Structure 1
Amino acid sequence: MSADLRLILFDVDGTLVDSQAHIVASMTRAFEALGAEAPSRAETLSIVGLSLPVAVAQLAPAHSVADQTALVAGYKEAYMQIRSEQGSAQSSPFYPHARAVLDELAAVDHYLLGVATGKSRRGLDALIAGHGLERMFLTQQVADHHPSKPHPAMIEAALSEMAVAPAQAVMIGDTTFDMEMARSAGVAAIAVDWGYHDTEKLAPLADHVVHDFRDLPGVIETIWETKT
């Protein structure tokens, strides 16, 4: 008898790849192009994971809708330019051991891997191509088609697409948005401490906090063992 299918969903920025320099530089360029004071690094990283229009609205609440629209466009342009100049491997490198763990999890027959990210479809496609992940993620939920995190729509769509129950899924992320999204969707939440939100804020929302990518497979299995 084959094992039940299990879905493992990953956030991308701050969880799989360290894109903070790329994100901060892109946001800084966007604000400077508008002639506005750029947010601090901490302010920019605090909104990573949100859909871009929502993130910009939080960073520039006093600006007009037209200005916020211009900032979104400016960010996208700057992000693509930096990626073109540097390539994904340099602008958004994997965290230590991330690729090896992805390969390990993908090799388990009853595991299904996916992503739920605030990136656009174009942004995710470029990152996947840049890192050679074309066959890694069976479900890919992006900001273009869903409300911003922490709304549970991304996870709910992934569960439906993969025909997996919430009890047989986990969400792995580095922000409170990821943890709240997982809670709202009724799936287990694993926080990583190498990303962009403080561990102190993540821990109360997470089922587990992981400090090393290599610990993930064991933590995931432990979660499912307690549910069966």
Structure 2
Amino acid sequence: MKRYELVIFDWDGTLMDSVGKIVACMQQTATELNMMVPSETAIRDIIGLSMDEALNVLHPMACTKTREEMISVYRQQYLQLNKTPSPVFDGAEELLLALKASGHALAVATGKARAGLDRVLTETGFSTHFQASRCADEAKSKPHPQMLNELLKQLNIAPEKAIMVGDSIHDLNMASNAGIDAIGVSYGAHTAKRLTEANPIAIVSSPLAMLPVITGKM
């Protein structure tokens, strides 16, 4: 089995159990602004996209002013008002530590903005685990490969020596567009059936289950 040098993780729904909070905050935002409330399925489908792209999908007729209001209300909901727990997944830190111990470089490619990623990295204590990261306000939104291409260049890793891990079809399609392998996780935004559409090398149901897939030690 191929030996990977770099493992790139999505954040929401992959390392952190935050899908429920994102759904709740997005629905409450629409309620507060007297807009159509999107379904849980619709919101799960946009997780991983940049906020601008997410609003394009969920509220395509909203004007610029309304979108700015939605972003402001959503941030207030997520950071202050909504109390839905969003812990890291069981086994996530053990996975990262094991990969670091086996010599893998680690990075993050996320639909979060830089301020949001920096905040959760500090809150979880995970900041020391990653050598690099790219966020949605620093590159084109998934599934465009810019985030991955920039990480590969920064860390001087060939595409065939990297692998992307994500819970969303957008993560896996981004990997495909960048010419790198991907692992889907079925415990986040999208089901295993949906993830299969992007042809990942594996789909796993827990963080630690991907360790033998990445290391080749089955």
Query: TM-score, normalising length from structure 1?
Result: 0.88
* Aligned mates of 1:5, 1:19 — CA distance in 2: 27
Change (3 A) 1:138 1:82: farther
Residue aligning to 2:51: 52
Contact residue 4 and residue 214 of structure 2 kept, 8 A:
no
Residue aligning to 2:22: 23
What count of residue pairs does the alignment treat as equivalent? 215
CA deviation map 1:119-140 (0-9, x unaligned): 0111111111111112111111
Residue aligning to 1:214: 208
Deviates more, 1:146-155 or 1:16-25: 16-25
Residue aligning to 1:70: 69
Residue aligning to 1:226: none
* Aligned mates of 1:92, 1:137 — CA distance in 2: 20
CA deviation map 1:142-170 (0-9, x unaligned): 01111110000010011011000001000
* Aligned mates of 1:214, 1:33 — CA distance in 2: 39
Do residues 11 (structure 1) and 4 (structure 2) align?
Answer: no
Matches within 5 A, 1:29-178: 29-82=28-81, 91-109=85-103, 111-178=104-171
Contact residue 99 and residue 211 of structure 2 kept, 8 A:
yes
* Aligned mates of 1:93, 1:179 — CA distance in 2: 23
* Aligned mates of 2:138, 2:77 — CA distance in 1: 22
Change (3 A) 1:81 1:209: same
CA deviation map 1:85-127 (0-9, x unaligned): x5xxx73211121111111112223x10000000011111111
Residue 5 of structure 1: CA displacement? 7.7
Structure 1 segments unaligned to the other structure (5+ residues) = 224-228
SS at match of 2:187: coil
* Aligned mates of 1:202, 1:21 — CA distance in 2: 19
Question: Which one-letter code corresponds to 1:18 in the other structure?
Answer: D
Runs of at least 4 residues of structure 1 off by over 4 A? none
* Aligned mates of 1:114, 1:198 — CA distance in 2: 24
Residue 25 of structure 1: CA displacement? 2.2
Question: Which one-letter code corresponds to 2:69 in the other structure?
Answer: A
Question: Which one-letter code corresponds to 1:209 in the other structure?
Answer: I
